[in-house]
Amino acid sequence: MSWWVGMHNPKLQLLVHGDQIADATVQLNYPGVSLVKVNKVENPNYLFLDLEISSAAKAGKFPITFTQKGKKTLSYTYVLNNRDQTPGRIQPVTSKDLIYLLMPDRFANGDPSNDVVKGLQETKLNRDSMYYRHGGDIQGVINNLDYFNDLGVTAIWMTPEIENDMKQASYHGYAATDNYKIDPRYGTNALYKTYVEKAHAKGLKVIKDIVHNHIGTGHYTYKDMPMKDWLNQWPAYTQTNYRDQPVMDIHASEADKKRMLDGWFVPSMPDLNHRNPYVQNYLTQNHIWWIEYAGIDGLRLDTYPYNDGEYMADWALKVKAEFPTLSIFGETLVNSAASQSYFTGGNTSNRGMDTNLPGITDAVLKDAIYEALNGKPGWTDGIFRLYSTLAQDFLYKDPSSNVVFMDNHDMSRFYSMVNEDLNKYKSGMAMLLTLRGIPQIYYGTEILMKNYSNPDGLVRSDFPGGWKADKVNKFTKAGRTENENQAFDFVSTLAKYRKSSAALTTGKLMQFIPEDGLFVYFRYAEDNKKTVMVIVNSEDKAKSLKTARFAERIQTATAVTNIITGEKIDNINTINIPASNTLVLELN
């Protein structure tokens, strides 16, 4: 698309696609830009041009000419821009933030004119079907930025916005057909950049969801592959085994490992070959391009364990070299803390290399919170699962960089998973917002949206009020039910308190062994002025807690304030906790 002068890496590889373009002689003449090599590959419809951009190069435009014998000379005007040096343009997403995950097709329709776009394969808009497009778009998100501020959100993560020109069910965004283009049903590249700027103006950071592992079958590099090993090819269709264990198992079969890494995710998502240097350059440069072009603050890496480990480690170094403040976290839906930590940076003793991945999506902690809310007490069950999971944080270089969540677009919704019990819902949200890490909520969780992941479309329902035809508007207090407002207010109150609490955002965590169904942990900052005490009652009956056992952290405090209710408790020798509740208390 374009590039910039002053990048850390002076090398740039351009992918050129055109009918029999390999027959052409390529020329360019621009001060500070050298055409180092013209790479011909198996498919004569491709050339890969190796350029080097010196530190002396200036921003500007220059023609690249392609001269084919007996044919008209083609000329392409390439653009070099100055980098945007605005201070603080890219702000890290950290444990100080609260991430809001949404699916743009299902959140709000701000521009009905792009609901159906001529020339694309999917021509239907059907809100009555979970597998067709519904018309949500980037403008719809822009229109509701104040809603995120009201909720206490500080960062927005959308599922991929780039073009998915597939026949059906491409609304999720994970089957790319053009990595450099926003899907026209969502808007334009320029609108996406405007969205980032408007979000920043509201104090909101932006996370982009990117996919290394695969593309869609509508992608031009699938329909006309540059070379046979652009993809991981098999004699017959071979699907991944979806097992992360062979990647780290010292006893693993090589065949199992190959199928995990090289098998296709689903038939409509061809698996990219990360050992191919041209594929590596294409992906890495694309991600760098989006960050510099739009000024996004963080990246969420889809299907992280399915990617080639060595390439991903190199990718992280190259991206961070250009954007030192950028935040990165990988999706690792695995079953143990050891498996999660295997993929995080700093674990060189186990893997023999550093992945350079700061954080992961902490599915293991999610499962432990569910067990604390729904499970029966046992030596390692119920509330003890949560305690023992947190006790394994020594496995991570920095557990505060892990993203903590209760659900997402691939999972049953949190409210349904606690059997629509409002007390358990509040208890779970209290833990989400007070434990270590970066909390993330899925759109609609704050208004008790429900449903189960089988079929998965049901957890991707439209946000009520995002369409003009909607009978209710749950973006407003008047449009929500009493219980929905209770849920919204609970999350908003705690999220806004969290913003100003050093104990909850950057403080340490100290936990005590659960007793009598009660789990107590503290978050505290170094100055110890604003210590937060969290008491989880995992049982369906009210409890009384004698606090002498926690003198190590209570220290000289003689009173506490309930963060949600504002109630002050002057005598804290004994604290009463209602059934299935979590109290968040600030020590005075």
Q: Domains plus CATH for the chain?
A: 3-82 (2.60.40.10), 99-499 (3.20.20.80), 508-587 (2.60.40.1180)
- Secondary structure of residue 331 in the 3-state scheme: coil
Q: Is the pLDDT of residue 417 over 70?
A: yes
| CA 297/CA 291 separation, integer angstroms | 8
Catalytic residue among 331, 407, 484, 586: 331
Q: Where are the beta strands (DSSP E) in 317-451?
A: 327-330, 359-360, 403-405, 438-442
Band the pLDDT of 31: cuts 50, 70, 90.
very high
Predicted local distance difference test score (pLDDT) of residue 565: 97
Model confidence at 72, in pLDDT bands (50, 70, 90)?
confident
CA-nearest of 203, 187, 209 to 155 is 203
DSSP string, 448-487: T----SSSGGGGGPPPTTSSTT-S--TTSGGGS-HHHHHH
Interatomic CA distance for residues 30 and 16, integer angstroms: 19
**pLDDT of the residue at 347:** 83
Contacts 24+ apart (CB under 8 A), 217-223: 217/166, 217/175, 217/267, 217/268, 217/269, 217/270, 218/121, 218/164, 218/165, 218/166, 218/175, 218/177, 219/176, 219/177, 219/178, 219/270, 220/17, 220/177, 220/178, 221/282, 222/270
Q: What is the pLDDT of residues 372-385, one digit of tens each?
A: 999 998 999 999 99
Q: Is 302 a catalytic residue?
A: yes
pLDDT digits (tens, 9 = 90+) for 530-555: 999 999 999 999 999 999 999 999 99
Split at pLDDT 50, 70, 90, the class of 45 is very high
Q: What's the average model confidence in pLDDT over 134-144?
A: 98
Contacts of 524 (CB under 8 A, 6+ apart): 503, 507, 508, 510, 531, 532, 553
Which of 1-5, 71-75, 520-524 has the weakest average pLDDT?
71-75
pLDDT digits (tens, 9 = 90+) for 85-126: 999 999 999 999 999 999 999 999 999 999 999 999 998 899
Q: What percent of the chain stands above pLDDT 70?
A: 100
State yes or no: pLDDT of 153 exceeds 80: yes
Measure the CA angle with vertex 107, ends 103 and 111; round to 5°.
110
Query: What mean pLDDT value characterizes the chain?
Result: 97
Q: Give me the mean pLDDT over the 409-429 stretch.
A: 98
Q: How far is CA 100 from CA 8, 171, 361, 409, in A?
A: 32, 18, 14, 12
254 is catalytic: no
Of 183, 302, 393, 407, which one is the catalytic site residue? 302
Q: Is the pLDDT of residue 328 over 80?
A: yes
pLDDT at residue 526, rounded to an integer: 81
Mean pLDDT of the 195-202 span: 98
Give the per-residue pLDDT at 169: 82
Q: In what order do the strands lie in the sheet with 3-5?
A: 3-5, 74-82, 60-67, 25-28
Predicted local distance difference test score (pLDDT) of residue 188: 98
Using pLDDT thresholds of 50, 70 and 90, give the confidence band for residue 528.
Answer: low
Condensed to tens digits (0 to 9), the pLDDT of residues 276-324 reads: 999 999 999 999 999 999 999 999 999 999 999 999 999 999 999 999 9
User: For the segment 333-349, what is each residue's pLDDT rounded down to a tens digit?
Assistant: 999 999 999 999 998 87
| pLDDT over 90 (residue 466) | yes
267-276, 347-356, 419-428, 568-577: least confidently modelled range: 347-356
